[in-house]
Amino acid sequence: MHPAIHALAHPAKPAVIMESTGETIDYATLDRRSNQGAHLFRAAGLVRGDVVALFLENHPRFFDLAWAAQRSGLYLVCLSSRATAAEAEYILTDSCAKLLVTSPHLAAVACELPERLPEIATFMLDGPMAGFRDWNAESAAMPDTPVADESAGALMLYSSGTTGRPKGVRWALPEDPAIAAPPLLTQLATQRFGFTEDTVYLSPAPLYHAAPLHWSMTVHRLGGTVVVMGHFDPERALSVIARHRVTASQWVPTHFVRMLKLPEDVRRAHDLSSLRVAIHAAAPCPVPVKHAMIDWWGPILFEYYSGTEGNGWTMIDSAEWLSRPGSVGRAVIGTLHICDEAGHDLPPGHEGAVYFEGGPRFSYHNDPAKTAEAANVHGWTTLGDVGRLDEDGYLYLTDRQGFMIISGGVNVYPQEIENLLVTHPRIADAAVVGAPDPDFGERVVAVIQPVDWADANDGFAEDIRQWLRGQLSGIKVPRQIDFMAELPRQPTGKLFKRLIRDAYWHAAGTAA
């Protein structure tokens, strides 16, 4: 299971379609370019176990480079295309990257990196640029056959950094060095989701993020076609599904919210009958939102809970979810535990920290203290989430531990309030944080992104409070409602809530 195998069997079959331009890369081209890339990595002095980094938008050659690293035994680090020069420098230094490939699209930031990191070999796609070697020209001069010491590499991805500085998640390189050895995700894709060589997969999110890259490369292992959007747009996503007869896709809840807020006639104008699987993750999906999506797309939604760390997985299909609304499923990798502060099991129905036992082992690169913090006294590991299990082992997530608000001695979980707020027809997005309060310790603050900025006023804020009072207990109704033109979300849908929360604590002259 590898693109090289499909390049021999179906050389002209599309491996990648860039939705915005129509550029198509067939399996023969993907295989040839990835071989040439592997040779260039070797020529640059990289050996098995070294680190190569990509600082790219959703570029047509993203997969050439990813597969070149995979077949030459390298760790691949992918930087956010929105990173600043300082943020990129931190990850490149922390990961010990020896080579960087970037593009003209990011040149305004990338041009600072050669001077900041002169020890790293820097390459530019799509033509020469001062301070960079020309990747296209140098790779084209390389052999298009496999390198002599071909072996399987691995992704080394950094967490999103929504609660602090990004952390590099590193696993040992595969014990089986064969590049075609199927990873666990391939088994899940075929057995749980029915992926085959006929799969046409839509990736609406940035490829630097763990899930889009993992799923796209899994489709390539199976010989399917990946359709890549340059950036997510709700109506365009529907159009792409219809035009390319997409059969599988992967989303985050904010994608669903934005598509559901499209006018009814726009939503109904696109033929989505080809779609067989819609996978979603990254954050708990509000119950009303998921009900609406199943009503619209049918029982094809599959949800999973995991993280960049990959220490465990839960999964739930639409039928299971309809009988247990709000659940993210049962464990399919590892064994779930809900633990108290001492790390011991809590009974079903009790909220506590979510831990996995027996899942893949991981470490945070250059951070043994953080790695140790992720494990409890039993050696079980956590992603930092809070939840509960029902009697049948189904997990219900409450929120991140770090985002819990303690107001007047009562624990308030922002996710519940946010999930309700985004269902309001005049609210485009919402974040709920705790701000310092002299009487309660913390007060609940809602930061609202209205659909129409004209609604950013005290009258609408009071309307929101009245609307919430009929659905939440008094302690959960925000005492303060502020407005923001656009919340700080990653293109992957993850919210940088830490930035919002810190602003309130800094304004009060208090450390968060």
- Tokens 């499209």, residue? 262
- Taking residues 206-221, what's their average pLDDT? 93
Q: What is the pLDDT of residue 409?
A: 66
Q: Rounded CA gap, 1 and 218, in Å?
A: 9
Q: Please give the single-letter amino acid code of residue 158.
A: Y
- Tokens 């199943």, residue? 294
**By C-alpha distance, which of 63, 50, 78 is closest to 155?**
78
| Tokens, residue 211 | 């899930």
Q: What is the pLDDT of residue 161?
A: 53
- Taking residues 328-343, what's their average pLDDT? 94
φ and ψ of 186, to 5 deg: -65, -40
- Hey, which residues does 200 pair with through a beta bridge? 225
Q: What is the pLDDT of residue 307?
A: 85
Q: Rounded CA gap, 380 and 358, in Å?
A: 7
CA angle 336, 342, 344 (to 5 degrees): 35
Residue 408's pLDDT band (cuts 50, 70, 90): low
Q: Rounded CA gap, 279 and 277, in Å?
A: 6
pLDDT in tens, 257-269: 889 999 999 999 9
- Taking residues 413-438, what's their average pLDDT? 89
8-state DSSP, 297: H
> Alpha carbon 239 to chain centroid distance?
23
Query: 346-350, long-range: CB within 8 Å, 24+ apart, which pairs?
Result: 348/388, 348/389, 348/390, 348/391, 349/388, 349/389, 349/390, 349/391, 350/388
pLDDT in tens, 217-252: 999 999 999 999 999 999 999 999 999 999 999 998
Q: What is the pLDDT of residue 254?
A: 83
Q: 196 to each of 29, 66, 182, 201, 217, how far by Cα in Å? A: 21, 21, 14, 11, 13
Residue 407 has pLDDT above 50, yes or no: yes
Parallel, antiparallel or unpaired: strands 154-155 and 51-55:
unpaired
> Alpha carbon 56 to chain centroid distance?
16
Q: Rounded CA gap, 112 and 172, in Å?
A: 32
Q: Please give the single-letter amino acid code of residue 309.
A: E
- Taking residues 55-80, what's their average pLDDT? 96
Share of the chain above pLDDT 90, in %: 69
Share of the chain above pLDDT 70, in %: 97
Q: CB–CB of 354/387 below 8 Å?
A: yes
| Rg (the chain; Cα; Å) | 23
Residues 6+ apart with CB under 8 A from 348: 388, 389, 390, 391
Residues 6+ apart with CB under 8 A from 20: 229, 230
Q: Rounded CA gap, 278 and 250, in Å?
A: 6
Lowest-pLDDT choice from 111-115, 132-136, 265-269, 365-369: 365-369
Q: 327 to each of 140, 287, 320, 365, how far by Cα in Å? A: 50, 9, 9, 32
> Alpha carbon 81 to chain centroid distance?
13
- Hey, which residues does 79 pair with through a beta bridge? 55
Higher-scoring residue by pLDDT: 497, 197: 197
Q: What is the pLDDT of residue 271?
A: 97
Residue 163's pLDDT band (cuts 50, 70, 90): very low
Residues 6+ apart with CB under 8 A from 167: 158, 159, 161, 364, 365, 367, 370
Give the three-state DSSP class for 198. coil
Residue 398's pLDDT band (cuts 50, 70, 90): confident
| Tokens, residue 198 | 């006929």
Residue 396 has pLDDT above 50, yes or no: yes
Domains of the chain: 25-180 (3.40.50.980), 404-507 (3.30.300.30)
- Tokens 């939705």, residue? 19
- Taking residues 349-359, what's their average pLDDT? 93
Q: Rounded CA gap, 422 and 101, in Å?
A: 38
Q: CB–CB of 228/207 below 8 Å?
A: yes
Parallel, antiparallel or unpaired: strands 330-333 and 381-389:
unpaired
Residue 501 has pLDDT above 90, yes or no: no
What average pLDDT does the structure give for the chain? 91
pLDDT in tens, 12-31: 999 999 999 999 999 999 99
Dihedral sign of CA atoms 190, 196, 199, 202 in order = positive
Q: Rounded CA gap, 463 and 495, in Å?
A: 25
Residue 337 has pLDDT above 70, yes or no: yes
| Tokens, residue 180 | 């075609």
Residue 318 has pLDDT above 60, yes or no: yes
| Tokens, residue 224 | 């399917």
